[in-house]
Amino acid sequence: MNTGPDISPSPQASFAVVLEASEEWLIDRILAIARQRNYIRYTSTLREAWRLSIASLSEQLLGALAICPEIPELSPDTDFAASPGAAFAVEEARRHRARGIDLSLFLGLMKYYRQSYVDLVDERSEVLEDAQWCRRFVDRFFDRIEICFCAAWAEGGEDERIDEMRGANRHLANEKNKYLTIFESLAPPVILLDTEGRVDNLNFAAARLFRKSAIPGSAYYGGENEQGVFAWLEEELEAFLPGEGTDLVLEKSLEDGDHELVFEVRLQRMLDVSGKFTGIAVTLNDITARKASERAVRERDSQYHALFENNHSVMLLIDPASGAIVDANPAACTFYGYDHAALTAMNIDQVNTLDREELRIELERARGEEKRVFHFRHRRCDGEVRDVEVFSGPIRVRGRGLLYSIVHDVTERRRLQDEIWHQANYDALTGLPNRSLFFDRLGQAIAQARRNGSKGALLFIDLDHFKAVNDTHGHAGGDQLLREAARRLAACVRQSDTVARMGGDEFTVLLAEAAEEEAVEEACRRILQQLSRPFEVSGQEARVSGSVGIALFPLHGEDPAVLLQRADMAMYTAKEKGRNGVWLSGIPT
């Protein structure tokens, strides 16, 4: 192999790459600390709220990295107002002070934001050019942010503070009025219960249903709540309150004057931002009409059978307990190729290719209405297997609980979906995986190597003198050479490895679980040898060669983008050294 020095990015550049790729890691880290230190008692538990904070801090830190060639140290004469992130700190101070947040609480949480970024530096130290430099940069950046924050917090007199509190109170009043407007306007009756199951509030629809009031908002402003427990719900609450379930759905019949109404009642636990149980929301959905409709359907059972027989869609009645096909319409007999007697003597597992136990579970899910749409593969009488979409749900036929299944043949649709997926993930010219699929496989290989303690290699290959082929033989000739080069590259590696086209005349090779450097060298030797052989292009001979850059994982990092960048840089070094050679990133060989 050729030798030469490593071309490394600056500490700022390597840190910026890590920051841009680590947003999810930082969110996970600060959320874990906030839960551990009980900050979520005063803050949101929504992940997106923490994402906004991390995104803002990372944006400021990236800006500081871009304009500060050295670590921004502190001195008595430092103009903190001109510091990177100063405007951000001032805005955050004013916003949190107006919300009534205590300064010590905010600064305490800021310390853990700082710790999260320091932990990121430690976690990614192997891909950073100078981890110690990055730690010091993070510390000084947050020092300046906190100083600016405290200075902005101290600004303004008592009158300004009072104005801020008045504004905050007006905001809270508006939020309360918004909540009441929405709550009172809800069409379904809604009841809010406290942690003991007593009535805390109920909206206008619920108050009217239970003859409490005919005036919207009276339960909130008028103090007309009896703080009691509804007798019709007492038994269910007694079982639900001490349990761990998040919700409960049941049916209840309630009197409304001379009429009996049927409701689907949903009980849902309410949790505050820290996850603490604060009460139960009870929603009543009037299903009186639906229940009446269901009774009518049952009464029209004989009419259903005529519809079943004459429908052009494939329809089956299945016993969910045994899987027996109880009935099949003529369309089903035509589709499967059996007569009615033969089909209704069969079990659904003789048609469905799914494993018997898995199929049993799916039948139970359909019977329990946990799932209504299924995708299976069904075998017909002639042995042909078709992709089908099945709409299935419970039905009572002559007092018997069955599954009513409507079967649609979606074989052609699935074929088109597979074709679209292939077009999105494979290069149209060479048939190799494209950049998107390659990155997916590289990420999987890195994760597997991390789990198993194994190694792998990423090769970045550029064809030497390819432009001359295009100039001489035209783009059609160039395409012909690229297809043959792809075929040769694929023949140089194992089936478990991946060869991909990144675009133009650039290819990548993923050598998964390449434990020994000798194996990588052997693969590179085969690649150079195959690419150096003459190509036949438009009936004429054409010659190219290959320049190969290598990055090893985990030696050179575990981030796909960083690995690709290092392999790319190594490839350019190989070109500079005279082409038709190999260069290992960071280690001259």
Q: Which residues contact 116 (CB under 8 A, 6 or more apart)?
A: 26, 29, 30, 33
Of 502, 474, 471, 472, residue with least CA distance to 485: 502
Q: 20: pLDDT confidence band, cut at 50, 70 and 90?
A: very high
pLDDT at 245: 79
**pLDDT computed for residue 177 by the predictor:** 65
What's residue 332's pLDDT? 92
Q: Name the average pLDDT for the chain.
A: 84
Residue 534 has pLDDT above 80, yes or no: yes
Q: Dump pLDDT digits (tens) for 301-326.
A: 555 666 677 778 899 999 999 999 99
Q: Name the least confident of 95-99, 191-195, 202-206.
A: 95-99
Across 278-282, average pLDDT: 88
> Is the model more confident about 215 or about 495?
495
According to DSSP, residue 516 is labeled S
User: Does the pLDDT of residue 409 top 70, yes or no?
Assistant: yes
What's residue 168's pLDDT? 53
pLDDT at 571 over 90: yes
Q: What is the 3-state secondary structure (H, E, C) of 277-293?
A: EEEEEEEEEECHHHHHH
Instruction: Identify the residue with better confidence: 330 or 53.
Output: 330
CA 589 to chain centre: 41
Which strand (E) or helix (H) includes residue 405? strand 400-409
Nearest of 518, 463, 513 to residue 488 by alpha carbon: 463
In terms of pLDDT, which residue wins out, 259 or 566?
A: 566
Amino acid at 324: A
Least confident piece of the model among 183-187, 208-212, 218-222, 291-295:
218-222
Higher pLDDT, 32 or 160: 32
- Check whether 563 has a pLDDT greater than 80: yes
Q: What is d(CA 575, CA 2) in angstroms, rounded to the nearest whole number?
A: 10
- The mean per-residue pLDDT over the stretch 414-436 comes to 91
The stretch 102-131 carries a mean pLDDT of 87
SS3 content of the chain, % helix, strand, coil (to 5): 50, 20, 30
Q: Are 119 and 105 in contact (CB under 8 A)?
A: no
Q: pLDDT value at position 589?
A: 41
pLDDT in tens, 342-351: 999 999 999 9
DSSP state of 157: -
Whether this prediction's pTM lies above 0.85 is answered by no
List all residues 6 or more positions away from 355 whose beta carbon is below 8 Å from its beta carbon: none
Tokens of 59: 């944006």
Residue 351 Cα to chain centre, angstroms: 35
Band (151; pLDDT cuts 50, 70, 90):
confident
Q: What is the rounded CA–CA span in Å between residue 334 and residue 540?
A: 58
Task: Judge whether 353 and 379 are in contact, CB under 8 Å.
Answer: yes
User: Do residues 549 and 529 make contact, with C-beta atoms less than 8 angstroms apart?
Assistant: no
- Report, as an integer, the average pLDDT of 529-555: 93
Confidence at residue 150, expressed as pLDDT on a 0 to 100 scale: 81
**Mean pLDDT calculated for residue range 189-201:** 86
Is a pLDDT exceeding 50 seen at residue 554?
yes
Using an 8 Å Cβ cutoff, are 550 and 582 in contact?
A: yes
The pLDDT tens digits for 134-144 are 999 999 888 88
pLDDT at position 230: 78
- Output the pLDDT for position 588: 43
Going by DSSP bridges, is the β-strand pair 506-511/535-537 parallel, antiparallel, or unpaired?
Answer: unpaired
Tell whether the model's pLDDT for residue 457 goes beyond 90.
yes
What digits encode the pLDDT tens for the residues 325-341? 999 999 999 999 999 99
Residue 156: strand, helix, or coil: coil
What is the per-residue pLDDT for 81?
Answer: 65
The yes-or-no verdict on residue 4 having pLDDT over 70 is no
How many secondary structure helices (H) and strands (E) does the chain include? Answer: 20, 17
Question: From CA 367, how far away is CA 182, in angstroms rounded?
Answer: 36
* Averaged pLDDT for residues 153-181: 60
